[in-house]
Amino acid sequence: MEALSKSFQPDNIEWHRIVGDDPATYKLDYEYSLLGYDIAAGKLDMMMRFGPDSGYCEPHSHIAATTLVILEGEQHVEEQLPDGSTRQIVRKAGEYAITGRDAHPHLETGGPDGLVIFLSLQTDSGKLFGVYDPEFNKLMDVDIQFMVDRWNARHEEAA
């Protein structure tokens, strides 16, 4: 297990920001922090942060079983259901949820005061997320190694 942070306090961890370049489709704008991982065990812990009335993360579905805790603010999720309809989910600070390995594709963002969320992901295949385009056509699967490599590349850029 590689621990990258000894804290989950939002002011005491390193954040990497992801911003999209095409606001016409949707506003891609959030931050994430890897806390620790174990590639052989299929485990990754991370946090995400969205500013007040900020953007979304990439449209995605969870392939890994995911435990999440809302630390601050509200999580707003718009799930794309198989029949083409959508379902809105709002989780508030202090709430806890578990998603299975077959979660519906969705967009998520913070509420009016933003969002800080802790996610603990467990996978048998190494795959964490399916990533989609704005029309929810699947583009790729993201695995633990991809997340670690992206983290390390941004960390090296900042140094």
Taking only the tens place, the pLDDT of each residue in 104-129 is: 899 999 999 999 999 999 999 999 99
CA gap 34, 149 in Å, rounded: 11
Q: Choose the CATH number for 2-158 among 3.40.50.300, 3.40.50.2300, 2.60.120.10, 2.40.30.10.
A: 2.60.120.10
Above 60 in pLDDT, residue 154? Answer: yes
**Average pLDDT over every residue of 32-57:** 94
pLDDT of residue 125: 93
Tokens representing residue 68 in the block = 């999440």
Alpha-carbon dihedral angle through residues 66, 93, 32, 106, given to the nearest 10 degrees = 50
State the pLDDT at residue 155: 66
Please give the DSSP secondary-structure letter assigned to residue 9. -
What integer pLDDT is reported at residue 141 of this predicted model? 96
* 10 vs 67: which has the higher pLDDT: 67
Delimit the domains of the chain by residue range. Answer: 2-158
pLDDT at 99: 87
What are 13's two structure tokens? 């961890």
Give the predicted TM-score (pTM) of the model. 0.90
Residue 140's pLDDT band, with cuts at 50, 70 and 90, is very high
Banded model confidence at residue 5, pLDDT cuts 50, 70, 90: confident
Confidence of residue 33 (pLDDT cuts 50, 70, 90): very high
Rounded to an integer, the average pLDDT of 27-42 is 95
Half-sphere exposure of 33 (CA within 13 A, CB side): 20
What is the C-alpha to C-alpha distance for residues 134 and 7, in angstroms, rounded to an integer?
34
pLDDT tens for each residue of 52-108: 977 999 999 999 999 999 999 999 999 999 898 999 999 999 999 998 777 789 999
